[in-house]
Amino acid sequence: MLSPSPYNIDAVEDCELLVLNQEHHQQLLNEVPAFVKMVRVLDTKHHIATQKRIHASIGMDAEEKYQDFVTNHSGFLQRFPQNMIASYLGISPETLTRIRKKLLYK
């Protein structure tokens, strides 16, 4: 049975989206070895990213989170609005503004 997602997902850039139901997903896993490999790679990347987000959430202050974001995702700084970046980092937009201003004048 299908149920609505608890998440609201917005595409902020043009993209192509592939939607598979469970039956088609399982069929691809059974019939296409390259799909199995792709899913395995994506699952591994997702697991690593999740662990990094958890570590940042409990082990870094706001400035460290932002500096880590700049180091690892510098290309996103111009692509996404500051309120989205703040939300991703789990900080308020005002805190992000203060951090950016502080780093600018260092």
Domain residue ranges in the chain: 23-59, 61-106
- pLDDT at 1 > cutoff 80: no
Read off the DSSP letter of residue 77. Answer: T
- Are the CB atoms for 89 and 96 separated by under 8 Å? yes
Distance between CA atoms of residues 90 and 96, nearest Å = 10
Which has more confidence, 105 or 76?
76
Residue 45 pLDDT more than 90? yes
Q: Is 9 helix (H, G, I), strand (E, B) or coil?
A: coil
**C-alpha–C-alpha distance, residues 74 and 72, integer Å:** 6
pLDDT exceeds cutoff 90 at 104: no
**Separation between Cα atoms, residue 17 and residue 10, nearest integer Å:** 12
pLDDT tens string 21-41: 899 999 999 999 999 999 999
**pLDDT tens for residues 54-102?**
999 999 999 999 999 999 999 999 999 999 999 999 999 999 999 999 9
Q: Does residue 105 have a pLDDT over 90?
A: no
